[in-house]
């Protein structure tokens, strides 16, 4: 595996203090870049941007060539059930997310200010690594295609559900003694659980009994981010180990520990562990804020992550880039401009 020397942005204090003049007086706002995970996919994703921006269109061309699958047609036209297959969803979402970033860069007409950190939710961590320069797009698409196939095959009897109205520690305590676990600590009052389908059904009843407002089954093919995924880990690590990694141009906050990472050599072990470990999204967002981020912009379909950020940090600015309209709305934020 090839690694380069890491380079990372200036300290958070410098970001907070940075001021520049652009027409009227404006203050540069430190921005964190976000990249969504499985569940955000939707037919039509990336189409508007690819039709308007050659750089976004090239992302789909490169992704198609990398795995020999027409991700452009699948993303733009569906059908939804094919897009929802894990082995298709994962490379398609990476392509749509990076296409959104490239469109924003092209629309800006100049390099975007460096993000203070990048972070992605589960699969989105691979998109974040592409954005940070540690993975080439083609390598990332091939890697997540393999990841999706392994995850899809690892656990045919698993399921997941979103628990609304209870915090992660309450849910975890209620699950003690079962094979169901907390898979995502997404936001206060929003937790995802994962485990064997039969045990999950019993856990749903228990959680409703202790105060869950709703428990919503998720459209997934296995118990992701649970011990069941350990079966996929060795072969995933083999695929990771033959994938070249470059330097991390931007600092990355990892799902599994909510910590800032500056060196690409740390990523293979983290990515292997991530597949069977819970996504520490609350910790990750809070860490980004502690590093100085006062704005969060999501690249890719939907607004799932910015919605979670607003629940974690109600007073921060958020934006997303999924089509031309949202790009235009978010571009000033991406440039760090607030009046």
Active site residues: 122, 225
> Do 185 and 281 touch, CB atoms closer than 8 A?
yes
> Do 101 and 321 touch, CB atoms closer than 8 A?
yes
From the list 35, 45, 153, the residue with the least C-alpha distance to 92 is 45
Question: With the C-alpha atoms ordered 91, 97, 102, 107, is the resulting torsion angle positive or negative?
Answer: positive
> Do 164 and 212 touch, CB atoms closer than 8 A?
yes
End-to-end, the C-alpha distance of the chain in Å comes to 45
> Do 116 and 288 touch, CB atoms closer than 8 A?
yes
> Do 245 and 264 touch, CB atoms closer than 8 A?
yes
Half-sphere exposure of 215 (CA within 13 A, CB side): 21
Our measurement of the distance from residue 104's CA atom to the centroid of its chain's CA atoms, rounded to an integer in Å, reads 18
**What is the rounded distance in angstroms from the CA atom of residue 187 to the CA atom of residue 155?**
26
> Do 120 and 39 touch, CB atoms closer than 8 A?
no
């Amino acid at each position: 595996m090839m690694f380069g020397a890491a380079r990372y942005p200036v300290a958070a204090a410098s970001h907070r203090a940075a001021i520049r003049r652009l027409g009227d007086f404006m203050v540069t706002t430190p921005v964190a870049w976000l990249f969504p995970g499985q569940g955000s996919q939707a037919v039509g994703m990336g189409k508007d941007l690819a039709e308007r921006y050659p750089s976004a269109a090239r992302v789909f061309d490169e992704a198609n060539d990398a795995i020999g699958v027409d991700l452009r047609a699948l993303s733009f036209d569906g059908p939804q059930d094919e897009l929802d297959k894990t082995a298709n969803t994962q490379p398609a979402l990476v392509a749509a997310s990076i296409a959104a970033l490239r469109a924003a860069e092209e629309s800006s007409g100049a390099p975007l200010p460096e993000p203070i950190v990048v972070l992605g939710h589960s699969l989105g961590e691979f998109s974040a690594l592409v954005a940070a320069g540690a993975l080439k797009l083609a390598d990332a698409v091939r890697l997540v295609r393999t990841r999706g196939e392994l995850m899809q095959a690892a656990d045919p009897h698993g399921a997941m559900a979103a628990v609304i109205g209870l915090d992660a520690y309450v849910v975890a305590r209620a699950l003690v003694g079962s094979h169901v676990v907390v898979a995502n600590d997404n936001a206060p009052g929003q937790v995802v659980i994962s485990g064997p389908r039969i045990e999950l059904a019993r856990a749903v009843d228990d959680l409703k009994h202790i105060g869950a407002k709703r428990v919503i089954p998720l459209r997934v093919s296995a118990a992701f981010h649970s011990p069941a995924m350990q079966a996929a880990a060795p072969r995933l690590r083999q695929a990771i180990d033959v994938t070249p990694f470059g330097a991390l141009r931007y600092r990355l906050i990892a799902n599994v520990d909510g910590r800032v990472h500056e060196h690409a050599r740390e990523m293979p072990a983290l990515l292997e562990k991530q597949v069977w470990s819970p996504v520490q999204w609350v910790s990750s967002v809070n860490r980004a804020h502690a590093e100085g981020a006062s704005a969060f912009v999501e690249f890719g379909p939907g607004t799932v992550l910015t919605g979670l950020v607003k629940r974690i940090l109600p007073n921060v600015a958020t934006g997303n880039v999924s089509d031309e309209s949202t790009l235009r709305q978010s571009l000033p934020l991406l440039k760090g401009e607030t009046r």
